[in-house]
Amino acid sequence: MIKKIKGKQLGLNLFFTVLSLTFIIPFLILIAVSLSNEQDVWQYGYRLVPKRFDLTAYKWVFRNPGQILQAYKVTATFSILHMITTVFVTLLAAYPLSRKEFKYRNIITGLMFFTLLFSAGTVPKYIWNTQFLNLGNTIWIYVLPGTLQVWNVFMIRTFMQGIPYELTEAAIIDGAGEWSVFLRIMIPLTKPGIATIALLTFLGSWNNWMTSLLYITKDELVSLQYFLQRILEEAEFLRENEAASQLMGGNDIPSETVRFAMAITVAGPALFVFPFFQKYFVKGITIGGVKG
């Protein structure tokens, strides 16, 4: 019996070791290619260890350090602001929907669910954001649209519904008002859900490049993702256009290694943020997906 248990445990260990390698090895290849010579990549393919160590791709990405630092600053600013406003608005929307005594909660829940099935589309959103709200070419175009996500509201509502009603009832008997119940009971007990939507919102904002494409014409408000996308398009254009590449100093334009250097440049802050949310993230996804 003990041998069978040890055999199963060994099998599980091997399985999860292989599974972990399938995630780790591609990331190591990503780093290796970004540090490789462009010609080596085209000739030998992607390697786990660079054949020749070369920082040309990073020099190409950071050839305008002032602009890329500004893009970093803008992206970090609106990502944090969007995360904070999303969490705040989501909590305010989820709390009344979790209370049984709120008689309109089923109607509002149905209307919110309807928006998950049907969307206005890009053109109406663009007209609304630019012509009515005048958010174009402002930092708020990154922050305000999409602040209230129905999926987030439903997940936080599920957390709050799982909190024993006796806790809130006892607090009300002791004289606590709605704001006291909300701030001192509901929010502390929904930390896994809050951390989950905070992480997902931050990552979604950090990877946002479509907003810059549609709404931003000022260089000082361009997001990091869109700025790097323009760098990549420029590198690909110069590589395909021999005359233009000669004007830039030669034909060896690192278009392929630039892709990987850009991925490392963008992924760094997100990898730094994730460990702070990790202990809540799995629990938040599990509870939010199983209950309610």
User: Could you tell me the pLDDT band of residue 89, with boundaries at 50, 70 and 90?
Assistant: very high
For the stretch 136-172, pLDDT in tens is 899 999 999 989 889 899 989 988 888 888 888 788 8
How many C-beta neighbours within 10 Å does residue 122 have?
A: 10
CATH number of 57-290: 1.10.3720.10
- Compute the distance between CA of residue 59 and CA of residue 262 in angstroms, rounded to an integer: 11
For position 45, what pLDDT does the model report?
79
**27-44 tens-digit pLDDT:** 888 888 888 888 888 787
- What ranges do the domains of the chain cover? 2-34, 57-290
The one-letter amino acid at 135: L
User: For 34, how many CA atoms within 13 A lie in the half-sphere containing its CB?
Assistant: 19
Over residues 81-90, the mean pLDDT reads 94
